[in-house]
């Protein structure tokens, strides 16, 4: 083979190899493109105006018929611990809240403190049981008017052992005198509440100023005082409603003296005077007074029982008028 032919053959071989190599590279690139994993999620096509702006043309048929709870009116009720502890408010207030779309915030303290809250404009209405203090509250211009609501009674309770020997006595003052003479432990609320005011009146009727280690002034509500009395085997004065409620929870103190006229315990409701305190919810406070003295609510109060015992007797003007012939 000539030198020139050999050279041409070499060039042909080289060129053929290059073409084959380039073809192989092209196939690899194509395969790589076909099998590569995308690095970003595919972008959805932008919806047209017609599909993106569909708005219902009719108002939904289910529309609330009352304002939501966030729009409820607010009423601040200052009342006594005995009223609250009895469970009565939990029983009757849902009716008021539903009828007037209202939220009632209950502040349960002694009668003196409840009236003070009203006198300072920190409550809209008061529900208490100390008639002399209630009348003064209205006379001082702190309340608009007092309305009779209901009554129950006070009882003297103590341990079954009855160290002072007062069981069955008909005079509360005489029973207090025997407790003092025997220096038997007695727990007083000591908080200027309606119960404390009644206790003071009984000591006055007995011509006794209680003092000494036997007489404990707790400065607590009725429920706490009953607990203390049980733990100390002591006597105390309590409203019947709170006693019955606590008895249902296991309280072991006995009723030893009841029925004396001095133990009568009337309750009154008084709206706070808006002329003295423009910030109070005067309209709702009057609504509350009208509601709690209405015949329907008085009937509800009469139906409230614990252990089959009626705890409060209705006594509003509307109730008395409806039952005057009975």
Domains of the chain listed by start with CATH number: 69-152+266-322 (3.40.190.10), 153-263 (3.40.190.10)
Within 159-200, strands assigned E span 186-188
Residues 134-166 have pLDDT tens digits of: 999 999 999 999 999 999 999 999 999 999 999
Contact between 52 and 99 (Cβ < 8 Å): no
Q: How many residues belong to the chain?
A: 326
Whether the predicted pLDDT of 59 surpasses 90: no
Q: Which residue has the tokens 């409603």?
A: 241
Residue 218 scores a pLDDT above 70? yes
pLDDT value of position 44: 37
Where residue 325 falls among pLDDT bands split at 50, 70, 90?
confident
Determine phi and psi for 127, rounding to 5 degrees.
Answer: -130, 105
**Cβ contact 279:190 at 8 Å:** no
The region, left, alpha or beta by phi > 0 then psi within -120 to 50, assigned to residue 118 is alpha
Summary mean pLDDT of the chain: 84
Q: Give the count of beta carbons closer than 10 Å to the beta carbon of residue 225.
A: 27
Lowest mean pLDDT among 60-69, 197-206, 216-225: 60-69
What is the rounded average pLDDT of the residues 69-73? 73
User: Residue 298's pLDDT band (boundaries 50, 70, 90)?
Assistant: very high
Q: Is the pLDDT of residue 301 over 90?
A: yes
End-to-end CA distance of the chain: 148
């Amino acid at each position: 083979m000539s030198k020139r032919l050999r050279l041409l053959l070499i060039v042909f071989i080289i060129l053929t190899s290059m073409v084959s190599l380039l073809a192989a590279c092209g196939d690899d690139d194509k395969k790589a493109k076909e099998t590569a994993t995308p690095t970003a999620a595919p972008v959805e096509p932008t919806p047209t105006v017609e599909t993106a702006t569909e708005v219902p043309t009719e108002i939904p048929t289910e529309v609330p018929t009352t304002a939501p709870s966030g729009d409820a009116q607010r009423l601040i009720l200052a009342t006594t611990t005995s009223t609250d502890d009895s469970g009565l408010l939990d029983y009757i207030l849902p009716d008021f809240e539903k009828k007037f779309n209202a939220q009632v915030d209950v502040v349960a303290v002694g009668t003196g403190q409840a009236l003070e809250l009203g006198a300072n404009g920190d409550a809209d209405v008061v529900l208490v049981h100390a008639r002399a203090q209630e009348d003064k509250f209205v006379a001082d211009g702190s309340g608009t008017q007092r309305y009779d609501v209901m009554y129950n009674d006070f009882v003297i309770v103590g341990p079954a052992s009855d160290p002072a020997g007062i069981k069955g006595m008909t005079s509360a003052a005489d029973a207090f005198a025997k407790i003092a003479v025997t220096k038997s432990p007695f727990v007083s609320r000591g908080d200027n509440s309606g119960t404390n005011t009644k206790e003071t009146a009984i000591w006055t009727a007995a011509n006794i100023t209680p003092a000494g280690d036997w007489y404990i002034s707790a400065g607590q509500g009725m429920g706490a005082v009953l607990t203390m009395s049980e733990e100390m085997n002591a006597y105390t004065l309590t409203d019947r409603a709170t006693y019955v409620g606590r008895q249902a929870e296991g309280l072991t103190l006995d009723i030893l003296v009841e029925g004396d006229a001095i133990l009568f315990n009337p309750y009154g409701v008084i709206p706070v005077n808006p002329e003295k305190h423009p910030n109070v919810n005067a309209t709702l406070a009057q609504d509350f007074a009208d509601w709690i003295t209405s015949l329907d609510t008085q009937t509800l109060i009469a139906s409230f029982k614990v252990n089959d015992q009626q705890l409060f007797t209705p006594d509003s003007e509307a109730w008395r008028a409806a039952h005057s012939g009975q």
